Structure 1
Amino acid sequence: MVLFDDYSMLHAVIMAGGSGTRFWPASRKLVPKQLLALSGQRTMIQSTVDRLGDLIPPDRQMIVTNKILAEAVREQLPELPAANVVGEPCKRDTAPCVGLAAAIIKRIDADGTMVVMPSDHVIASPEKFQAALAAAEKLIDEDPTRIVTFGITPTYPAESFGYIQRADEIPADGVSAFRVEKFREKPDRATAESYVDAGTFYWNSGIFLWRASTILDALAKNVPEMSKHLHAIAGAMGTPEFDAVLEREFTAIKGTSIDYAVMESYDNVVMIEAPFPWDDVGSWQALSRLNDPDENGNTVVGSHIGIDTKGSIIMAQEGHTVVTIDVEDLIVVQTADATLVAPKHAEERVREAVKALEERGMTDKL
Structure 2
Amino acid sequence: MNANTYVVIMAGGIGSRFWPFSRINHPKQFHDVLGIGESLLQSTVKRFEGICPPEHIYVVTNKEYASLVKEHLPNLAEEQLLLEPIGRNTAPCIAYATYKILAKDPNANIVVSPADHVILREESFKKCINQALEATKNRDILVTLGIKPTRPDTGYGYIQFLDNDHQDDLKKVKTFTEKPSLEIAQMFIDSGEFVWNSGIFIWNVKAIVQAFEEHLGELADTFEEGRAVLNTDKEEAFINRAYSHSRNISIDYGIMEKADNVFVIEGDFGWSDLGSWNSLYSVTDKTSEGNVVDGNILLYDVNNCIIKTPKDQLVVVQGLTDYIIAEHDNVLMICRREDEQKVKDFVSDAKSQKGNQYI
| Structure 2 partner of 1:97 | 93
Matched, 1:232 2:225: yes
1:363 partner letter: N
Matched, 1:48 2:44: yes
| Structure 2 partner of 1:134 | 130
| Structure 2 partner of 1:163 | 158
Matched, 1:298 2:328: no
1:106 partner letter: L
Distance in 2 separating the partners of 1:355 and 1:237: 37
Q: How much has 1:171 moved relative to structure 2?
A: 4.5
- Aligned pairs for 1:317-336 (under 5 A) are 317-336=310-329
| Structure 2 partner of 1:203 | 196
Two-structure CA RMSD over aligned residues (Å): 1.7
Distance in 1 separating the partners of 2:129 and 2:267: 10
| Secondary structure at 1:12 match in 2 | strand
User: Percent sequence identity over matched residues?
Assistant: 34
| Structure 2 partner of 1:34 | 29
- Aligned pairs for 1:265-304 (under 5 A) are 265-304=258-297
| Secondary structure at 1:28 match in 2 | coil
Q: How much has 1:170 moved relative to structure 2?
A: 5.9
CA shift in 2, pair 1:310/1:300, >3 Å: same
Distance in 2 separating the partners of 1:159 and 1:327: 24
| Secondary structure at 2:164 match in 1 | strand
Match of 1:75 among 60, 71, 74: 71
Q: How much has 1:105 moved relative to structure 2?
A: 0.7
Distance in 2 separating the partners of 1:85 and 1:60: 11
Stretch of structure 1 that moved more, 296-305 or 187-196: 187-196
Q: How much has 1:287 moved relative to structure 2?
A: 2.8
Stretch of structure 1 that moved more, 52-61 or 115-124: 52-61
Distance in 2 separating the partners of 1:192 and 1:349: 18
Contact preservation (8 Å) 1:177, 1:270 = yes
Distance in 2 separating the partners of 1:222 and 1:321: 54
| Structure 1 partner of 2:82 | 86
| Structure 2 partner of 1:12 | 7
Q: How much has 1:246 moved relative to structure 2?
A: 1.0
1:30 partner letter: N
Q: How much has 1:281 moved relative to structure 2?
A: 1.3
CA shift in 2, pair 1:263/1:318, >3 Å: same
Distance in 1 separating the partners of 2:281 and 2:242: 42
| Secondary structure at 2:87 match in 1 | coil
Distance in 2 separating the partners of 1:233 and 1:177: 35
TM-score norm. by structure 1 comes to 0.93
Q: For residues 135-174 of structure 1, what are the alpha-carbon distances to aligned partners after superposition, in whole Å with 9 as ceiling and x for unaligned?
A: 111111231x1111111111222322222121232646xx
Contact preservation (8 Å) 2:79, 2:231 = no
- Residue ranges of structure 2 left out of the alignment (5+ in a row): none
Distance in 1 separating the partners of 2:112 and 2:15: 19
| Secondary structure at 1:310 match in 2 | coil
Contact preservation (8 Å) 2:146, 2:159 = yes
